[in-house]
């Protein structure tokens, strides 16, 4: 899914996918380093997680984010 979203974000250009590691393109929300990296990424952000939906922050659920 991360590869597909990365390609969509870059209009199908695979150069970004090949040059930027997964953990930088789609950092893990449930880790502190991942959260810091996600906040620093340009929008639209790609964020990875294995958290159940009910454990996401309420502000996230009220946002326009695609899940």
Catalytic residue numbers read 50
Are 1 and 9 within 8 A, CB to CB?
no
Whether residue 44 has a cis bond before it, omega within 30° of 0: yes
Q: 């159940």: which residue's tokens? A: 52
């Amino acid at each position: 899914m991360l590869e597909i979203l990365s390609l969509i974000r870059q209009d199908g250009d695979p150069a970004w996918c090949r040059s930027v590691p997964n953990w930088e393109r789609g950092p893990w929300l449930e880790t502190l380093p991942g959260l810091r990296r996600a906040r620093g990424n340009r929008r639209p952000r790609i964020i990875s997680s294995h958290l159940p939906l009910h454990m996401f922050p309420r502000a996230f659920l009220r946002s326009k984010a695609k899940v």
